[in-house]
Amino acid sequence: MNNHFISKFVKYFLYGFIAIAFINIIFNIMQINLINDYYVKNLYSLYVFEALADKNDARKGIISIPYALFLFSSFFIIGRWLFVSAKINHLSGVKNLEISPGWSVGWYFIPFASLWMPYKSLKETFKASFYNEDWQDIKVPYYFPIWWSTWIIGNFISNGYLRYDVSMGDDYSFDQLITLSYLDIATDTFYIANAFALLKIIQIIYENQKDKKF
């Protein structure tokens, strides 16, 4: 066991997700501009607006497929990296580890505990990867709280988006469409920041563990 392949795979995976999320932001901005051009500026006839709206819906429909696949597969891919990284620390004989490799993933699925235990788990994995006797005294860098806060906030906004979308039914007003677009943009912005912060964490743990093989 080593972290070479899974670390590189996760990094490419995160870059791919960042690209997809960025494209989704662009499509939402285009949707906001289109709605404003029709409802506020009266630049289009109803026929032209509906044709442009159909094209925009098609674009968003296409991007939603890889977007959903990235989100779904992230639980398995990033979860595997979390497990391997924690396992290497345990196999290396690091003392006073509190969280098992299995629970480094499992805490994400436990209600309420998922709000802080995954952060504690990855912080332990990060500190222990330096393999110092006083590893518990190592301070985590600034992008650790950025990683976790953007994850929590991004998920909170995403859940708000889904609830708001379901409550609207099939008919959307001008204000509702604008609100949904901004919520989607906010979600992707936090997820992109989260991915960049996680990339920094992954790189350091990878460098610390790259010579470990079991």
Nearest residue to 128 (alpha-carbon basis) of 105, 102, 95:
95
Q: Which of 106-115, 154-163, 171-180 has the lowest mean pLDDT?
A: 171-180
37 pLDDT tier (thresholds 50, 70, 90): very high
Q: Closest Cα partner for 178 from 24, 26, 29, 32?
A: 32
Is the pLDDT at 164 greater than 90? The verdict is: no
**Stretch 180-195: mean pLDDT, rounded?**
97
Unique residue bearing structure tokens 């999320």: 21
Residue position matching structure tokens 């470990």? 212
CB atoms inside a 10 Å sphere around CB 201: 20
Rounded to whole angstroms, the Cα distance separating 100 from 121 reads 9
pTM for the whole thing?
A: 0.93
For residues 16 and 170, the model is more confident at 16
Confidence check: pLDDT of 110 > 90: yes
pLDDT confidence of residue 77: 97
Those residues with Cβ within 8 angstroms of residue 129's Cβ, 6 or more apart along the chain or in another chain: 85, 88, 89, 204, 205, 208, 209
pLDDT category of residue 165 using cuts at 50, 70 and 90: confident
pLDDT at 172 over 90: no
**Residue 143 near residue 201, CB atoms below 8 Å:** yes
For residue 179 the two structure tokens come to 């609100």
Q: What is the pLDDT of residue 75?
A: 92
Among 42-46, 102-106, 140-144, the least confident range: 42-46
Residue 146: per-residue pLDDT? 98
- pLDDT higher than 90, residue 40: no
On the question of pLDDT at 72 being above 80, the answer is yes
- pLDDT confidence of residue 33: 94
